[in-house]
């Protein structure tokens, strides 16, 4: 669960942020404060309790940019999404230079916040999953780069077979192995592995290694888009 601190001096906007957060799985609001001074006190009183901050700019006592600069000097691992009416190029550049992961301009919609938070959650899952990350995964799931046209498939990936593999994977109610899935498809385990790797690059499934069995660890897959 990603723990979120809301820093917003407008009570109505703070409540909107909290309500929107409650509708997006994987996040919980652990506090709401209305200025940078109180936010700093919250961090001191709750060490290592905050993963993500939703931060306004225009606030009394300590504005958002002053707080952000101080935060990154002392707590660089706490991430920040800026939610503000400040919308000049200079404002956005300043926020990006201080490491915000997204910049949302008021007024905003639920869909825009959901996109921001789900993108952030996806990024955290990827970066925490292993010590090594493939370039293709970074491009498709973090930096949104496409090395091929959206309707093109890599060599050796058949569109109809891919659809079948994806459909069967979506029907699984638990983690599954290539051996288990191959039994439901007219495809070899070697070929199936190629399709599963492609689906993982697309962010549709996720794999982990199971070390519980004797011998070599077993690679298990989980469908993500249910």
Domains of the chain by residue range: 2-128, 148-223
91-105: pLDDT as tens digits: 999 999 999 999 999
Cβ burial, residue 127 (10 Å; 0-12/13-18/19+): exposed
Phi, psi of 207 (to 5 degrees): -115, 150
Provide the 3-class DSSP secondary structure of residue 44. helix
Provide the 3-class DSSP secondary structure of residue 54. strand
CA 14 to the chain's CA centroid:
22
What's the Cα-to-Cα distance from 21 to each of 13, 18, 116, 123, rounded to whole Å?
12, 5, 11, 17
**Beta-bridge mates of residue 207:** 221
Q: Is the pLDDT of residue 71 over 90?
A: yes
Q: Is the pLDDT of residue 12 over 80?
A: yes
Q: What is the mean pLDDT of the chain?
A: 87
Predicted TM-score (pTM) of this structure: 0.63
pLDDT of residue 224: 80
> Could you confirm whether domain 2-128 is CATH 3.40.50.2300?
yes
**Beta pairing class for 52-55 and 27-33:** unpaired
CATH number of 148-223: 1.10.10.10
pLDDT of residue 213: 60
Burial annotation 90-116 (CB, 10 A radius, 16+ → b, else e): ebbebbeebebebbbeeebeeeebeeb
Q: How many other C-beta atoms lie within 10 A of the C-beta of residue 175? A: 17
């Amino acid at each position: 669960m990603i723990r979120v601190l809301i820093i917003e001096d407008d009570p109505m906007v703070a409540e909107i942020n909290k309500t929107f957060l409650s509708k997006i799985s994987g996040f919980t609001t652990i506090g709401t404060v209305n200025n940078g001074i109180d936010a700093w006190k919250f961090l001191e009183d709750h060490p290592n309790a905050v993963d993500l901050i939703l931060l306004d700019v225009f606030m009394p006592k300590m504005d958002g940019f002053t707080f952000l600069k101080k935060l990154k000097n002392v707590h660089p691992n706490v991430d920040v999404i800026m939610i503000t009416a400040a919308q000049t190029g200079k404002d956005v550049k300043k926020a990006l230079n201080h490491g915000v992961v997204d910049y949302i301009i008021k007024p905003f919609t639920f869909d825009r916040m959901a996109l921001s938070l789900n993108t952030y959650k996806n990024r955290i899952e990827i970066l925490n999953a292993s010590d090594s990350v493939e370039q293709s995964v970074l491009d498709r799931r973090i930096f949104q780069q496409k090395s091929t046209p959206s309707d093109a498939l890599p060599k050796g990936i058949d569109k109809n077979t891919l659809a079948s593999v994806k459909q069967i994977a979506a029907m699984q109610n638990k983690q599954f192995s290539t051996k288990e899935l191959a039994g439901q498809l007219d495809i070899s385990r070697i070929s199936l592995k190629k399709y599963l790797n492609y689906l993982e690059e697309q962010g549709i499934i996720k794999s982990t290694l199971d070390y519980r069995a004797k011998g070599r660890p077993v690679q298990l897959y989980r469908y993500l888009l249910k």
